[in-house]
Amino acid sequence: MAEIVKIDKIEELLLDIDGQKVLLDRDVARLYGVETKEINKAVKNNPEKFPDGYIIEVGKDTKKELVKKFHRFGPLKHSSVNPKAFTEKGLYMLATIIKSETATQTTINIIETFAKIKELTHTIKELSHNPEKEKQHQLMQRSGELIAEILDNDLNTDESETTIELNFAVLKFKHTIKKRKS
């Protein structure tokens, strides 16, 4: 059986294109344990499942920028085909087409990652607008928990302490996570 991909690995692959969090077709294929052409064939054979907003066709300029910024996209440099970027909705729809245990579990992890990122964004926005100290403390605690879940879902260390510091325009957020081997 193929290894199920953890949430923190999926989060590393998320890109921001046109203001949306997306996964490129090649990353989705790798996560699902299939070839990119199988992902693209599924899209081509089921166009009714991918209306506008489900897939972003990556243009030449964006492709060049991705190749420049991310080493993993080096092979795209000489490709004549521009990649497809799947939005959250597109990934949900793709999950109805690609059938395998790995694809199903990976899709669940992808959905969980998107949900946690959305909740974290909402929590941070609420934190910056809430003057109540008690509520701020609760929101900071929840933000820390979400960050820990996204970044470190499966620690295997004797003892570790991680400090995460995020600096936003209106607030500076610092959270320390301590975990011990169970």
Q: Is residue 175 part of a domain?
A: no
Q: Is residue 177 part of a domain?
A: no
Q: Are 27 and 13 in contact (CB under 8 A)?
A: yes
Q: What is the pLDDT of residues 98-118, one digit of tens each?
A: 877 777 777 777 777 778 878
Q: Is residue 90 part of a domain?
A: yes
Q: Is residue 157 part of a domain?
A: no
Q: Is residue 120 part of a domain?
A: no
Per-residue confidence band for 151, with pLDDT thresholds at 50, 70 and 90: low
Choose the weakest-confidence range: 90-99, 100-109, 163-172: 163-172
Q: Is residue 11 part of a domain?
A: yes
**Tally of domains within the chain:** 1
pLDDT at 130: 73
**Does residue 23 come out as left (phi exceeding 0), alpha (psi in the -120 to 50 range) or beta?**
beta
Q: Is residue 148 part of a domain?
A: no
User: Which residue range forms the structural domain that includes residue 56?
Assistant: 7-114
Judged against a pLDDT cut of 50, whether residue 89 lies above it is answered with yes
Q: Are 128 and 140 in contact (CB under 8 A)?
A: no
Q: Is residue 17 part of a domain?
A: yes
Choose the weakest-confidence range: 68-77, 87-96, 105-114, 165-174: 165-174
C-alpha gyration radius of the chain: 19
Q: What is the CA 126 to chain-centroid distance, rounded?
A: 22
Q: What is the pLDDT of residues 57-84, one digit of tens each?
A: 999 999 999 899 888 888 888 888 889 9
User: Residue 95: what residue type?
Assistant: A
pLDDT at 84: 93
Q: Are 28 and 113 in contact (CB under 8 A)?
A: no
